[in-house]
Amino acid sequence: MTMRSLKRNAYNAFANLSIRGKIVFVFVPILLSFVLIVTLTWGLMTNSLQSQIIANNQLMLEIIRQEIQRETSALILAGERLMSGMPVQRYLASDMESEHYESRLERIRLLFTREANSLLPSASGVWLLKKPDDYVGINDRRFSLSERREILELFHERYINSIGGRFIGSPSVSCSQAGIFHYVASVHGTQISFHPPCILIVNLNNRFLRNIFHLYSQEPGAIRGATYRIYDRENNLIAAYHRDEGASELTVDTETVGFDDTDQATQGWKIRNINGRQFLHIYQTVHNLDWRLSVHIPLDDAMAGSRIYQIVLIVALLLAFLLFLLFVRLTTRVIVSRISEMAGAMSRISSGEIERRFPVVYGDEISRLGNDFNLMLDRLQHLTINVAKLNLRQREAELAALQSQINPHFLYNTLETIRMSAIEAEADSIAEQIKTLADIFRYTVVPGGLKDLVPIRAELEHVRDYTRIQRYRFGDRHAMDIDVAPEIYELYTLRLILQPLVENAYQHGIRQMRSGGHITLHGRIDGEEVIFTVSDNGRGMSEARLAELRADLSRSPLTRPSQPSIGLVNVNDRLRLAFGDNYHLKLDSHEAVGTTVSLNIPVLTTDEYFAKGRTENDEAVE
């Protein structure tokens, strides 16, 4: 399949969509683009906020690192001064096996205690340790004798042969729970002589660390809900603090599961999933102490400040979607309803309601199209009326030509001669028939007579003449009753309106009956209408034929082909062209029961009603 055929198929598929489908097809990509832009914007905002949080906390950790280095450097200097002092050197030189060792050790302990309190006032305990049972120092009263011995044994086991000094987290659970960490340093003598190994142990309260963290956790960039931690080189926890939402002070955090840091990088950040919750882990190394500082921030707390923007974006998306739906609904409703209205008007016009028009109330393209459609209908209706009137004129001209071919005076004189011959021959019946036939010709063969108004009395007399002729023909097989109110005799109606109705009853109702055929003509006045009813007891007609004839009667004469007859349909057409909507012709029939034709026409007391109408019609045709 070529690219051209693909394009053509795509265009045809789009063209076959409904108007609503086309609008949705056009605007859905726009809406999706808006959603994509909002999503990308939100992602960029989130990344930018996360980067800002990381930068702020890295800067805060750097400041905390500098503060810790300053404080610990002072502690290291004080420890070195203590180790180079006379009490420590005497203790190094003392021999546990020598005489008077205990008395000398007591003096050393007093001097050491005095100097340690002077140099390390913040220490909660200071020990010089050779062996678990050979030590001097300031004991921490929070620990029992057994706990102290356990602590000293742990330090002797791990650090008696270490070189240099270090700050460590406590290997003892008791110390760790008490919030204590240690400065441990190997002690060396000032004289060149051999001394047994000895270490200085300084128990430090982590309160100064807490004060540092508390100070900088008050900065605007600090996140409430964050946890601050310090680990030593062996990954022992030195201190941990937590800042609860709404709290003004840091609290000691004893939960260590999942927060240990074994990453060898000196600084950085990562996202960790701990206990089903995501944390932003930012860390930095204190090089001279070999400590690791870290802050653990719950991502949901860190992004709490952006929730208002998230809500705004979600609301904006919802509003955009609702506006999109509203726009599509309103647009399609306006367009589709207008097109449906035009289609409905066309459908009604095609069914014969040619006077229907499309309402033009707006100035859009559909209204302009509807206006052009209405103008076309006006011209078409005008032309159709002219054609119908020309056809009517043609029928009248044909009838007039037929009438002109028969010299009325010659016809009447001939019929009168025949009638007189019949009288002389004493053939009274033949004479009567000839007279009736002459009256019928005299009433019918009148130039332009189909448009004339005649008194109802004359129309009834013509019906009686027609009935007489039928009686001469069929004898007593058929009967005709005329029951017309006398007050309508002098009112006017169109010529040759009632006789075709009676003839229709004869021809299609009772003609085939051998006997018992009966036709009734009733006439009365009802308000502004004259009502005629012609009924017969003939064979009637089927429902299908009745529906077909009713449809033919309801169709406008402007849309019906020309018919040469002057039967029921022709009478209906003449009435419609003459009276417009001011008449009513109704047909009812039941098979094997009979047919009834009802005719309602306006009350006319003069023929001026048509004098003006004929003039206007003639001008329209011209």
Residue 299 confidence (pLDDT) above 60 = yes
The answer to whether 482 and 457 are in contact (CB under 8 A) is no
Residue 487 DSSP one-character state: G
At 192 the pLDDT is 47
At 619 the pLDDT is 44
Residue range 597-618: average pLDDT? Answer: 68
More confident residue, 372 or 188: 372
Q: Poorest-confidence range of 4-18, 405-419, 453-467?
A: 405-419
Amino acid found at 613: G
Phi, psi of 13 (to 5 degrees): -65, -40
27: left (phi over 0), alpha (psi -120 to 50) or beta: alpha
Amino acid found at 6: L
Using DSSP, state whether 492 is helix, strand or coil: strand
> Per-residue pLDDT tens for 469-490?
888 878 888 899 999 999 999 9
CB atoms under 10 Å from CB of 585, counted, come to 20
CB-based contacts of 526: which residues, under 8 Å, 6+ apart?
A: none
**Distances from the Cα of 204 to the Cα of 72, 140, 178, 229, angstroms:** 10, 10, 10, 16
Banded model confidence at residue 585, pLDDT cuts 50, 70, 90 = very high
Query: What strands, in cross-sheet order, belong to the sheet with 134-138?
Result: 134-138, 123-131, 199-205, 180-186, 165-169
Banded model confidence at residue 501, pLDDT cuts 50, 70, 90 = very high
Residue 371 confidence (pLDDT) above 80 = yes
At 608 the pLDDT is 53
Across the chain, what does the average pLDDT equal? Answer: 77
CA distance 114 to 119: 9
Select the highest-mean-pLDDT range: 50-54, 304-308, 361-365, 480-484. 480-484
At 255 the pLDDT is 52
All domains in the chain, ordered by first residue? 50-306 (3.30.450.220), 312-382 (no CATH), 407-444 (no CATH), 448-621 (3.30.565.10)
Tokens 């009935």 locate to 467
The answer to whether 303 and 39 are in contact (CB under 8 A) is no
Buried b (16+ CB within 10 A) or exposed e, 351-370: eeebebebeeeeeeebbeeb
The first and second tokens of residue 252, run together, are: 């000691």
Residue 609 confidence (pLDDT) above 90 = no
At 530 the pLDDT is 95
Surface-to-core class of residue 163, CB atoms within 10 Å of its CB (0-12 exposed, 13-18 middle, 19+ buried):
exposed
Banded model confidence at residue 569, pLDDT cuts 50, 70, 90 = confident
More confident residue, 589 or 342: 589
> Per-residue pLDDT tens for 164-197?
888 887 777 766 666 677 888 888 766 545 567 8
Banded model confidence at residue 447, pLDDT cuts 50, 70, 90 = low
- Percent of the chain residues topping a pLDDT of 90: 11
CA distance 109 to 115: 10
> Per-residue pLDDT tens for 12-69?
776 777 766 777 777 778 778 877 887 888 788 788 877 888 888 888 888 888 888 8
Query: H/E element holding 293?
Result: strand 291-298
Residue range 430-455: average pLDDT? Answer: 75
Q: What is the distance between the terminal CA atoms of the chain, rounded to a whole angstrom?
A: 62
Tokens 């006032």 locate to 121
The first and second tokens of residue 427, run together, are: 């053939």
CA distance 115 to 81: 10
More confident residue, 615 or 314: 314
> Per-residue pLDDT tens for 72-105?
888 888 888 888 888 888 877 776 666 666 777 7
User: From start to end of 102-257, where are the E strands?
Assistant: 123-131, 134-138, 165-169, 180-186, 199-205, 227-231, 237-242, 251-252
The answer to whether 250 and 222 are in contact (CB under 8 A) is no
Q: Poorest-confidence range of 103-117, 472-486, 606-620?
A: 606-620
Phi, psi of 44 (to 5 degrees): -65, -40
At 23 the pLDDT is 73
Residue range 389-403: average pLDDT? Answer: 63
Phi, psi of 390 (to 5 degrees): -65, -40
In this structure, are strands 517-526 and 478-484 parallel, antiparallel, or unpaired? parallel
Phi, psi of 305 (to 5 degrees): -65, -20
Which of 88, 90, 89 is closest to 113 using CA atoms? 88
At 99 the pLDDT is 60
Which of 43, 60, 47, 38 is closest to 302 using CA atoms? 47
Which of 398, 400, 432, 405 is closest to 418 using CA atoms? 432
At 594 the pLDDT is 93
CA distance 206 to 75: 13
The answer to whether 281 and 294 are in contact (CB under 8 A) is yes
Residue 117 confidence (pLDDT) above 60 = yes
The answer to whether 572 and 553 are in contact (CB under 8 A) is yes
Residue 618 confidence (pLDDT) above 50 = no
Residue 513 confidence (pLDDT) above 80 = yes
Residue range 286-307: average pLDDT? Answer: 76
**Distances from the Cα of 366 to the Cα of 129, 252, 354, 370, 377, angstroms:** 103, 77, 20, 6, 16
At 622 the pLDDT is 41
Residue range 300-305: average pLDDT? Answer: 70
**Distances from the Cα of 184 to the Cα of 68, 156, 168, 181, 534, angstroms:** 17, 11, 7, 10, 134
The first and second tokens of residue 74, run together, are: 């002072």
Tokens 């795509």 locate to 10
